[in-house]
Structures are given as structure tokens and as C-alpha cells.
Amino acid sequence: MSGHSKWATIKRKKGKADAERGKIFTRHIKEITIAAREGGGDADGNPRLRTAIAAAKASNMPADNIKRAIQKGTGELPGVTYESITYEGYGPGGVAIYMEVLTDNKKRIVAEIRHTLSKYGGNLGASGCVAWMFEKSGIVTVELNAVDEDTLMEVATDAGAEDILADSGVYEVLTQPSDIDSVRMALEEKGIPMVSAEVTMRPTNTVKLDKESEVSSMLKMYELLEENDDIQKLYANFDIDEAILEKLA
């Protein structure tokens, strides 16, 4: 199982706690704001904004919060100016780490990332050092008990989905980034509830971690990076043996 799948599962389990702490809402607000700033406040003509709004709604963000985030992005309301940056680096065992950041303080966030990586045996790399190990992909997540696989396959593939995987209690509907919106809307029209719909970076290869010390360091590093409010999306290409993961749980 890839690092993406393992951490998709872990993140789903901790999602409610994150939402209670406001972390998910903070990230949604940042994404909506910058999407509106870069592509305008009309969701019909701004695919990135449509996807950001859909993700916010899936996390039960109030409509007023979404509206204010859009207005801050378009300049109708005053707000913080965020800068969109990507950082790349390595974790224990040479694991590739790719981070998408929205921040109002570039110097602070790069120092925080560098400190976290070095603390657990990793390092910050140059732009492009690991990006080639990932490919953009749309992923729509649906609970296994929300719909039967044949129905999901028919609706999703008719809308442009490439594949459907069943893993850890959910279906993952895979699409090209440009097709995620049409697949999401097709599922909505059929009344099929979704856990999430996002454009993500899937690793094209993985690094197997088979030492407990490396696994422990990688998990601690990943969790700390993920808890940083400025890091919107975090990707890594580690693979961990299930026995080690269960032993450390």
C-alpha cells in the first residue's frame, strides 16, 4: 500500500479532531481566498474555486465563512495576502516530500519546515528535486457503504473517471485533474455522498521503510508538517510494512 493510501486513511480518522481545532477550516479559507484572488470570485468560471468550495462544504464549513473567504480573495473585504509556494525535500530513508504552502510569512514557514525536516533526519531540497516523483491526479473519495460499486463505476466512468479503487473502507475514484469537477457533479446529481474531492499528487514510485527507527521518525515528521497551518497539502512516497505500522500504533 502506498504512502498516499496509508496517510489518506490516517487523515480521514483524524479529520474530525482537526476540524474541531479549526485547522481544516483555516486551510479551506486560505485555499478559497487565493483561488478567488487568482481566478475571480465566480465559481462557475473558476475550477479551482469550485473545487475549494466543494471541499469546504464537505467539511461542513458554514456558507458565510465561504462567502467571506471569497470576498477577501476578490478584495471586497480586507484580508491577509497569502503567497502560494511549493517546497520539496527528503525524509528518513530518502523518502520524497512535496509540500504546497499558502503563507503570509515566507521566511517563517521555510525556517519551520527546515527545522522539522532536519529534526527527524531529513532535509529541505531545491525546487524540482522530488516533484518528478509525483503526478497530479483527481481523487474523489466515497464511503464503501454509500453506494454499490457497479453504480459508482457507471456514474463515474461516464463522467470521465479513469479507475476506481476500494481501500480502507472507501472507494477512491481516480480522474485526470481536469475531469474531477465533472465527476464530482455527476455524483452529486445522483445523490451519491462524497467524503472529499481534490486534486492531489500521487507518487509514481515508493520508498520502503523497513526499520522501526525510520518509520517512527517519518511518522513524527509527517504529523508535525501536517499540523502546520501554512502547509495546505503534504505528499510523501513512503511505503511501510503493515506489521511495523501496527506495532508502532
Q: Domain locations in the chain?
A: 3-74, 83-132+205-248, 133-203
Backbone φ, ψ for residue 25 (5° rounding) = -60, -40
- What is the pLDDT at residue 9? 53
CA distance 249 to 233: 23
Query: What dotted CATH number matches 83-132+205-248?
Result: 3.30.70.980
The reply to whether CATH 3.30.70.1230 applies to domain 133-203 is: no
CA distance 241 to 116: 24
Q: Is residue 84 classed as helix, strand or coil in its secondary structure? A: strand
- What is the pLDDT at residue 82? 85
Helix (H), strand (E), coil (C) string for 84-142: EEEEEEECHHHCEEEEEEEECCHHHHHHHHHHHHHHCCCEECCCCCCHHHEEEEEEEEE
User: Looking at residues 179-184, what average pLDDT do you find?
Assistant: 91
- What is the pLDDT at residue 235? 94
Give me 147's grid cell.
453506494
CA distance 126 to 71: 35
Name the residue among 59, 4, 3 with its Cα closest to residue 174.
Answer: 4
- What is the pLDDT at residue 126? 95
- What is the pLDDT at residue 4? 45
Q: Are 83 and 100 in contact (CB under 8 A)?
A: no
User: Looking at residues 3-22, what average pLDDT do you find?
Assistant: 51
One fold for 83-132+205-248 and 133-203: yes
H or E stretch including 219?
helix 212-227
User: Looking at residues 176-187, what average pLDDT do you find?
Assistant: 92
pLDDT digits (tens, 9 = 90+) for 17-52: 555 556 788 888 999 999 999 999 999 899 889 989
- What is the pLDDT at residue 113? 97
pTM above 0.85, yes or no: no
Backbone φ, ψ for residue 84 (5° rounding) = -95, 120
Q: Which CATH class is domain 3-74?
A: mainly alpha
Q: Are 38 and 82 in contact (CB under 8 A)?
A: no
